[in-house]
């Protein structure tokens, strides 16, 4: 089903025009809230995480968002549907700033959903999007909605790298060594002719390695530009880390086949909305930057931290 902007998917970015957002997970780390509210709808200040990620996809030139969802998570896609009754109420009562806020999500880009009916892993979730791609789409972007990568712009850099070097381009962050086991980790080498030193060639990738087995501290940060050949690789993988079909393992197959894979190392901020601790940090970070809530939050926090032991 298709919601949001109804025109044909525009050709807005020459590297990709479809952005896939896997959002089928159960959000177990957020129970009990996620018993009825999908994790992706939890607000970062006043905006659901999924809308922030959709905004990033639209900014990067995507014309269509494919949300991979699971039965019972309809609210995630409903967030992108116009609510004409709410809009007319807000208009009648002159609440134009709120009207602007509720109109934002449906106006960002065309939104479509596909259902992942079994929780078989991220690789399986991405493979569910293949059926809705147009024949001429030779790459897709994937954005994990747990990851907020800021400031925006890394996807544009990644798109430029794909235009120059072809293949698959991923986003890496340099994480402390004791955290590598939470991520997909890259084995990398420098690119002799790279103008940007943060563009590296990937020679291997492993999902959630033991600390002693990690090939580096460069970890996948939830932003991917995947060549369409990923779907053929996804058909070849077996269950991996955690017994799940891992996107990392399909990327590792592409590397083995000699397909070019690069990373752009992101040197800014990355928040992990997937657990309460990371989510709170993101909310505080966004709130501190807000004209509306920032000044009083800063004052309260400063005072609260003086009483840190109470």
| Interacting residue ranges for ligand G1P, rule: CB under 6 A | 122, 144, 146-147, 183-184, 207, 219-222, 246-248, 274
Please say whether the beta carbons of 220 and 238 come within 8 A. no
Please state the closest distance from residue 85 (CB atom) to ligand G1P, in A. Answer: 37
Give the orientation angle of helix 96-108 with respect to helix 49-59, to 10 degrees.
Answer: 60
DSSP 3-state assignment of 44? Answer: strand
Residue 77 or 122 having the CB closest to ligand G1P: 122
Q: How far is CA 134 from CA 8, 52, 138, 166, 188, in A?
A: 11, 25, 9, 20, 32
Burial 53-83 (b: 16+ CB within 10 A, else e): bbbbbbebbbbbbbbbbbeebeebbebbeee
Please state the closest distance from residue 132 (CB atom) to ligand G1P, in A. Answer: 22
Residue nearest to ligand G1P (CB): 184
Please state the closest distance from residue 183 (CB atom) to ligand G1P, in A. Answer: 3
| Angle, CA of 199, 204 and 209, to the nearest 5° | 110
Residue 90 or 148 having the CB closest to ligand G1P: 148
Please state the closest distance from residue 122 (CB atom) to ligand G1P, in A. Answer: 5
Please state the closest distance from residue 299 (CB atom) to ligand G1P, in A. Answer: 33
Please say whether the beta carbons of 209 and 177 come within 8 A. no
Please say whether the beta carbons of 270 and 149 come within 8 A. yes
Distance CA 148, CA 207 (A): 20
Please state the closest distance from residue 310 (CB atom) to ligand G1P, in A. Answer: 34
Distance CA 248, CA 185 (A): 9
Residue 90 or 214 having the CB closest to ligand G1P: 214
Please state the closest distance from residue 79 (CB atom) to ligand G1P, in A. Answer: 21
Residue 110 or 147 having the CB closest to ligand G1P: 147
Residue 19 or 220 having the CB closest to ligand G1P: 220
Return the sign of the alpha-carbon dihedral for residues 48, 52, 53, 57: positive
Residue 4 or 184 having the CB closest to ligand G1P: 184
Residue 207 or 227 having the CB closest to ligand G1P: 207
């Amino acid at each position: 089903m298709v919601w949001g902007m109804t025109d044909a998917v525009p050709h807005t970015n020459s590297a990709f025009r479809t952005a896939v957002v896997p959002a089928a997970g159960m959000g177990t780390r957020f129970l009990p809230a996620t018993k009825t509210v999908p994790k992706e709808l939890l607000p970062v200040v006043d905006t659901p995480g999924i809308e922030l990620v959709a905004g990033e996809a639209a900014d990067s030139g995507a014309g269509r968002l494919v949300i991979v969802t699971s039965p019972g998570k309809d609210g995630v896609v409903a967030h992108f549907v116009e609510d004409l009754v709410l809009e007319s109420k807000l208009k009648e009562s002159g609440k134009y700033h709120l009207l602007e806020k509720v109109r934002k999500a449906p106006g960002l880009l065309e939104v479509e959903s596909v259902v992942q009916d079994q929780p078989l892993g991220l690789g399986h979730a991405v493979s569910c999007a293949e059926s809705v791609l147009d024949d001429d789409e030779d790459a897709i972007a994937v954005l994990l909605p747990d990851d907020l990568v800021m400031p925006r712009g890394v996807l544009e850099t990644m798109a430029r790298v794909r235009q120059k070097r072809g293949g698959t381009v991923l986003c890496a962050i340099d994480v402390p060594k004791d955290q590598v086991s939470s991520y997909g980790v890259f084995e990398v080498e420098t690119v002799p002719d790279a103008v940007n030193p943060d563009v590296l060639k990937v020679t291997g990738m492993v999902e959630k390695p033991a600390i002693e087995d990690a090939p580096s501290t460069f970890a996948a940060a939830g932003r991917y530009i995947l060549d369409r050949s990923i779907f053929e690789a996804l058909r070849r993988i077996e269950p991996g880390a955690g017994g799940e079909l891992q996107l990392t393992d399909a990327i590792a197959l592409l590397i083995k086949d000699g397909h070019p894979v690069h990373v752009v190392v992101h040197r800014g901020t990355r928040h992990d909305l997937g657990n309460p601790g990371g989510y709170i940090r993101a909310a505080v970070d966004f709130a501190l930057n807000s004209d509306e809530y920032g000044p009083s939050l800063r004052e309260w926090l400063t005072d609260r931290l003086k009483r840190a032991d109470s």
